[in-house]
Amino acid sequence: MASTRRTGSFFLLQIAVGLFFLLMGLKGIINYDSAGSQVTRFFNDILGSNDSIINIIVSIGALVSGIIILGGLFIPLKNSTLMIATLVVFIFWALKIVYFYVANNLMEPDLITWLQNLSLQFVILMSVWIINRKYS
């Protein structure tokens, strides 16, 4: 009985994390060409910033990650393939945390908000780690 609940929990966690990445990627790609994004890119080009390339790379990576994580549930793939794929997702999400929350926006806009956003990122990171451990 306990293993059935545990398996169901892993299944639901993997669906939730896979959908999160899939939808995050789709939203980033779809909104890339919106009027607001075009204005932002215009001002970024004037000011010499090139965050739009990083944002589209993160969006594509998130989309692929969501497909891989969800695909592991419904497509018969080797455990080693899924373990490596989720490990790559884990590493890139950890790098994203370092880039966006430490290197560029350390304690911004204020400490409490920063800690709350950082903790959410760590929940996602640890969820990917749990999924990775399932396949190792």
**Short-list 18, 106, 25, CA closest to 66:** 18
Give per-residue pLDDT as tens, 43-91: 555 555 555 677 788 888 889 989 988 998 988 888 888 899 899 889 9
Looking at 63-105, which runs of residues are DSSP E strands? none
Q: Report how far apart the first and last C-alpha atoms of the chain are (Å, whole number).
A: 23
Tokens of 102: 């430490």
> What is the tally of structural domains in the chain?
1
Task: Report yes or no on whether pTM surpasses 0.85.
Answer: no
Domain membership of residue 103 as a residue range: 2-135
